[in-house]
């Protein structure tokens, strides 16, 4: 009897196409198409390469940007508030020039956050493998790339050899069915998923997001979805490329051109899981159950619908879970059983590789237009790239943000995380479009609540965590 081989998942197809060799320890040596660096940890990879008297094997496939520790205030230069930051910037610049790799330096019109730039410039493509010394590299799965974050030493190895060894992750498919309620976004989808399945729910898996609700999402929203796959502890997240992705990539600076474009499109159209592909785990989510979602604690899994109440640790099924809830509430300074909506804030932040693209800024500006940030609220908007910033300014979005009371910044990671530089004030409660709400994430003793751009904008106006639907917007 002839046994037909089972079909392959989308991830497995890319993995197979890029496998150079099988290692004795069970891992696979994978060809790396693109390496993207930044000045915080990328400088370490470049320095290690130089110190070992090695060179970049294919400089044309390596890109670098200044994003993590750069200042984002207008008129910036190399000066940064991060201790030792100037040295990181200047060492990265010098080594990038030495290696002959493409550098998007400060004041370069293509500068911006690594994962935003890689997508908008067409550096990451469907079916390609891409690494970056940053955990949110999985963002690029939103266009169908196999992208994952690695350490600086692994990055150094890939620079020198164009390969890297990985143990193949298990396969998970998350099916989003139904239609999203009006105004509910990819950010809400991921917070809903993680709150239901836990922040460890994707551990050991490559996650494919599928279903009609995923097909309905625009490409930038899919990037938001995949961005937070790492908050689900997944190896990566990925969405099968479709006509939306092809249209998105058309005429991007680094996308294929001419006959190569036609060949690439033909290949991209094969990038989908086979009907008989086998997944090790599947999760089904009905999108009609998802509402605007916000975190209440110190993990992305500490999330509830904005019209829900803060959980009571005494009602936890597991005593250990109850203890964890109690610790989170002690730090975040909230009481169980109270509505999350109406919780006073001191600051609002729109930015990061999760929600700083043009579509995100349009959503927030739509709510802010003609309104003002509540007195005493510090509100900041940091576009994800210089290109996003320019395009937003062409549409007049910057005027809306500034007239409402938001600071309008240069692109970069900025206050997404605290690295000893700029941060919010101790004790501040921040409503933020970022991806992590760990203790001290946005400054010592700060309290961060993750939410969508719509929720952040509405909350800035009211001065408290607010359901934007009550304002009659969108």
pLDDT digits (tens, 9 = 90+) for 149-184: 999 999 999 999 999 999 999 999 999 999 999 999
Report the range out of 3-12, 38-47, 425-434 with the highest average pLDDT.
425-434
Residues 6 or more apart from 435 whose CB is under 8 A from it? Answer: 136, 227, 228, 231, 300, 352, 353, 354, 416, 450
CA distance 152 to 91: 15
Angle between helices 386-394 and 358-368 (to 10 degrees): 40
Question: Do 170-250+266-289 and 293-468 agree at the fold level?
Answer: no
Q: What's the whole-number mean pLDDT along residues 367-388?
A: 98
Q: What's the whole-number mean pLDDT along residues 336-346?
A: 97
Would you kindly state where each structural domain of the chain is located, as residue ranges?
12-166, 170-250+266-289, 293-468
* Residue-level pLDDT at 79: 93
Q: Which residue has the tokens 């493998």?
A: 129
CA distance 6 to 12: 12
CA distance 144 to 242: 9
> Residue 142: is its pLDDT beyond 90?
yes
Query: What CATH fold (topology level) applies to the domain 293-468?
Result: Aconitase; domain 3 (3.30.499)
pLDDT tens column, 221-241? 999 999 999 999 999 999 999
* Residue-level pLDDT at 1: 45
> Residue 327: is its pLDDT beyond 80?
yes
pLDDT tens column, 262-316? 999 999 999 999 999 999 999 999 999 999 999 999 999 999 999 999 999 999 8
Percent of the chain surpassing pLDDT 90: 94
Average pLDDT, the chain: 96
> Residue 120: is its pLDDT beyond 80?
yes
CA distance 90 to 104: 13
Give the confidence band of 3 by pLDDT, cuts at 50, 70, 90. Answer: low
> Residue 473: is its pLDDT beyond 50?
no
> Residue 474: is its pLDDT beyond 60?
no
CA distance 134 to 224: 15
In this structure, are strands 163-166 and 236-238 parallel, antiparallel, or unpaired? unpaired
> Residue 14: is its pLDDT beyond 50?
yes
Query: What CATH fold (topology level) applies to the domain 170-250+266-289?
Result: Aconitase; Domain 2 (3.40.1060)
Residues 6 or more apart from 391 whose CB is under 8 A from it? Answer: 358
CATH level 2 (architecture), domain 12-166: 2-Layer Sandwich (3.30)
Is-above-0.85 flag for pTM?
yes
CA distance 162 to 139: 21
- 96 Rama class: left (phi>0) / alpha (psi -120 to 50) / beta: alpha
Q: Which residue has the tokens 């249209």?
A: 247
Per-residue exposure over 308-322, b if at least 16 CB sit within 10 Å of its own CB, e if not: eebbebeeeeeeeeb
Q: What's the whole-number mean pLDDT along residues 248-260?
A: 98
């Amino acid at each position: 009897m002839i046994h037909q081989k089972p079909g392959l998942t989308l991830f497995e197809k890319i993995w197979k196409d890029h496998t150079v060799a099988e290692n004795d320890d069970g891992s696979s040596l994978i060809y790396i198409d693109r390496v993207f660096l930044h000045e915080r940890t990328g400088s370490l990879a470049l320095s290690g390469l130089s110190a070992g008297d090695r060179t970049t094997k294919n400089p044309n496939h390596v890109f670098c940007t200044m994003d993590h520790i750069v200042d984002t205030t207008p008129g910036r230069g190399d000066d940064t508030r991060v201790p030792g930051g100037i040295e990181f910037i200047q060492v990265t610049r010098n080594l990038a020039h030495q290696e002959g790799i493409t550098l998007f330096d400060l004041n370069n019109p293509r500068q911006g956050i690594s994962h935003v730039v890689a997508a908008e410039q067409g550096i990451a493509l469907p079916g390609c493998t891409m690494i970056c010394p940053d955990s949110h590299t999985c963002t690029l799965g939103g266009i169908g790339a196999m992208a994952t974050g690695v350490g600086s030493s692994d990055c150094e190895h890939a620079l020198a050899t164009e390969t890297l060894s990985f143990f193949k992750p298990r396969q998970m498919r998350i099916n989003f069915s139904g239609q999203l309620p009006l105004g509910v976004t990819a950010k809400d989808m991921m917070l809903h998923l993680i709150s239901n399945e836990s922040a460890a729910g994707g551990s050991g898996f490559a996650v494919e997001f599928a279903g009609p609700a995923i097909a309905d999402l625009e490409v930038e929203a899919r990037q938001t979805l995949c961005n937070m796959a790492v908050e689900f502890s997944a190896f990566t997240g990925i969405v099968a490329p479709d006509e939306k992705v092809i249209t998105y990539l058309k005429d991007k600076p680094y996308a294929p051109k001419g006959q190569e474009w036609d060949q690439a499109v033909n290949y991209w159209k094969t990038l989908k899981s086979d009907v008989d592909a086998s997944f090790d785990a599947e999760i089904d989510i009905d999108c009609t159950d998802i509402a605007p979602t916000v975190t209440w604690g110190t993990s992305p899994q500490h999330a509830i619908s904005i019209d829900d109440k803060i959980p009571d640790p005494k009602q936890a099924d597991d005593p250990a879970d109850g203890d964890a809830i109690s610790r989170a509430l002690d730090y975040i300074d909230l009481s169980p059983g109270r509505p999350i909506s109406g919780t006073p804030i001191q600051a609002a932040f729109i930015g990061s590789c999760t929600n700083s693209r043009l579509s995100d800024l349009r959503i927030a500006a739509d709510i802010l237009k003609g309104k003002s940030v509540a007195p005493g609220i510090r509100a900041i908007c940091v576009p994800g790239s210089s290109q996003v910033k320019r395009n937003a300014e062409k549409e007049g979005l910057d005027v809306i943000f500034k007239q409402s009371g938001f600071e309008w910044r240069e692109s970069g990671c900025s206050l997404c995380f605290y690295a000893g530089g700029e941060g919010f004030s101790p004790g501040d409660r921040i409503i933020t479009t970022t991806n992590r709400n760990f203790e001290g994430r946005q400054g010592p003793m700060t309290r961060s609540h993750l939410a969508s751009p719509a929720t952040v904008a509405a909350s800035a106006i009211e001065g408290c965590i607010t359901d934007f639907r009550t304002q009659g917007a969108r």
